[in-house]
Structure 1
């Protein structure tokens, strides 16, 4: 009996619930270790040995090794009490078996311990990260030549990254509107200014001869927020209550954290109603946008979810884009669109293949629309079968990836190339997750 392509992949690229691939996996683990040890021995062959044969067998060292072996064995035994996610008996949620390409890629990179904060600290890991991000970008429908992104510790931080960038963009536009209102004495239209778009921004920038220094004096992200909000309220003729986040009513807890951490306040988190199937109601989304406009509260971000935490539902992301793109076309109002695809993003790999019919038409259409979003969160450590912790944040292009500039002279060295340290919320980031995704993409692939 011939095996299906899926069975061939599963049989080759997973350890097997009864360790069916044990012999081969042992060999690959040993090969990784052999290469690592050989590299360490040969790179600086003339360096003196710090530990001689006699020292290695001294009673003190042997005793220390025995202690380590004993404690390691205890740790390994303790870990057998963890949930056995590898077995077909386990029908779990979001967490599954780790694939062999991911495990081996993670192991190989972890042994070298590269820190993807900069090219200096991770000469190879940063290149692997860029290539792996391009693979994920292709899968979700972005142009890999234009998309930007990086790996995070998980979906929560990736969602924070989206808020950070959406705030950066909104702050630029609203700061410019505030400056013009204060300069001319004309009333400030908070909602229109906060959503003006980069084309209008550049036109007004040139028209008023603005500089970065001038704009910084009107920025709530750079200056004293309370003072800037007071000035916005005075220019608008009513108290300014700050921006709002529009998220589905079944929102992930990370959005409440984001509202707290970015100083927006819990009240700024406006829950969009759900339909009978637990998916975002686009008509209710528009109702909240109109309410925000009436109250002069900018929409920092509108969020759709691909794979809700509770039920795995996929919001009508295509309809969300259609509605917001209509606002852009009719009124020139640009609202940041983020897709939280931490759980379901890898379902995009099904699209266009022989098994697409396992998805409803609505879900397939929604997944195809992810590439229209400004930014996307996706977790390889869920349906990518990659070891924890490995999330990813993607943007459609470099402009949407932009964030506030930071100064770190010890890292800011042009001769080393572009590092991600200044554009990531996390400072140090392991390259192990990126390597796991990279090897998965080169073997299993992220397509049907």
Structure 2
């Protein structure tokens, strides 16, 4: 056992003793021995879990997965013996209060002193609640989002029975403002979804320009910042991204995922509304649930019912250790990942075998493999991807449209309308220190197939 792991377990044991002391008046109801077969079952689970990618390691840059902070892991474990349910105060009194405090700190990060919000399973559900509220408030004419927005928005529009209007993206992957204005002029759009950090490339929609359109067209504005929201704290954004994040406080609702950049275990999403009066949309009664508080229970302002109080305890504990302030330790971690992403982009731009897209707006880097044709470029990408994985370098692949790639001239002949590219989520603060190792392994993987 490493000294770090031993120290964590000792700390958890100390915290559990404090928690147990709060229930010292109760008769002991715990069995004296561990259940028979528990050791075998747990070791079997550990063996099965070895068949997975090393999401926690700096050599993993594939998907938007970031290891939880030790504060989150330990606090989550601390609360599991109680297994609180944050549907109602009666099922999770302390954890419900901790959720409200943690969510208020996230809202304050976006400049909101008053708000309505709660945690949820993830970004999809957070976005769903925002779009559902928009429909219930009478903004049901249609939902507009960029073609580079998360695919779930079109699906959610279908679930809600609301028309979906895909809006073209520019060559940087951002929503095209002229295309959005044309859609708004038709009078069929009631809600606009702006994405601050697209899943594919980390592109940041020009929120400030979208807000300018609201002066001429009436629509509700929801911001999907599930991946990128925390970057509002970063001091090293480019000018366009900074302008967009500085306009966040003017949105009607915001979705953000603490289980992405917020250092939390899955699933921990968050939905926020600027106007707390939208709680009227959620109004319902549950006489067998909401018993001992005149304040609104979290289940009264959420589409979900049972929700893990452990997620709130983990988030609250992390925020106590790492406040959401510019210039703080948490913000420096975001900035370190972004600096590493910029350095990776620069290194790729100097390698004639690769063609990176525009410099990352956040910390996602996308690059094509240079080839004679689009189809060959895609085939070589798949080969390099597999060769990198064999070298324990874990990347991702993403299919990009010709319109976004053509300005960078990755191929001589376009025999396909898309190219499969390589993608790296440079999310971990350690990635900067590991960049040399990452590039060496990428070079070895590419050298097997590329001249």
| Common fold by TM > 0.5 | yes
* Distance in 2 (alpha carbons) for counterparts of 1:50 and 1:375: 45
CA deviation digits over 1:264-288, x for unaligned, max 9?
A: 3xxx110111111010112211110
Structure 2 residue aligned with 1:320: 210
The offset of 1:123, in angstroms, is 1.1
Name stretches of at least 5 consecutive residues in structure 1 with no aligned partner: 1-17, 171-193, 195-241, 328-332, 351-355
Is residue 144–residue 191 contact of structure 2 (8 Å, CA) maintained in 1?
yes
Change (3 A) 1:73 1:300: same
CA deviation digits over 1:135-194, x for unaligned, max 9?
A: 101112222xx1110000000000011011111211xxxxxxxxxxxxxxxxxxxxxxx6
Number of residue equivalences = 326
* Distance in 1 (alpha carbons) for counterparts of 2:107 and 2:282: 23
* Distance in 2 (alpha carbons) for counterparts of 1:401 and 1:435: 24
**Residue 156 (structure 2) aligned to one of 255, 258, 281:** 258
Q: Report which of the two has the higher share of helix.
A: 1
Q: Report which of the two has the higher share of strand.
A: 2
Name stretches of at least 5 consecutive residues in structure 2 with no aligned partner: 327-451
Structure 2 residue aligned with 1:204: none
Q: Does 1:43 align with 2:25?
A: yes
Bigger radius of gyration among the two: 1
* Distance in 1 (alpha carbons) for counterparts of 2:219 and 2:249: 16
**Residue 246 (structure 2) aligned to one of 368, 388, 392:** 368
Q: Does 1:426 align with 2:308?
A: no
Q: Does 1:108 align with 2:6?
A: no
**Residue 145 (structure 2) aligned to one of 247, 265, 281:** 247
State the SS of the aligned residue for 1:112.
coil
The offset of 1:110, in angstroms, is 2.5
Is residue 348–residue 367 contact of structure 1 (8 Å, CA) maintained in 2?
yes
Change (3 A) 1:112 1:321: same
The offset of 1:251, in angstroms, is 2.2
The offset of 1:70, in angstroms, is 0.6
Structure 1 residue aligned with 2:63: 93
* Distance in 1 (alpha carbons) for counterparts of 2:165 and 2:210: 16
Structure 2 residue aligned with 1:441: 319
* Distance in 2 (alpha carbons) for counterparts of 1:402 and 1:284: 34
**Residue 167 (structure 2) aligned to one of 269, 272, 282:** 272
CA deviation digits over 1:172-221, x for unaligned, max 9?
A: xxxxxxxxxxxxxxxxxxxxxx6xxxxxxxxxxxxxxxxxxxxxxxxxxx
**Residue 98 (structure 2) aligned to one of 99, 114, 128:** 128
State the SS of the aligned residue for 2:222.
strand
The offset of 1:28, in angstroms, is 1.4
* Distance in 2 (alpha carbons) for counterparts of 1:141 and 1:51: 46
* Distance in 2 (alpha carbons) for counterparts of 1:434 and 1:50: 26
Is residue 224–residue 255 contact of structure 2 (8 Å, CA) maintained in 1?
yes
The offset of 1:84, in angstroms, is 1.4
State the SS of the aligned residue for 1:302.
strand
**Residue 380 (structure 1) aligned to one of 258, 274, 288:** 258
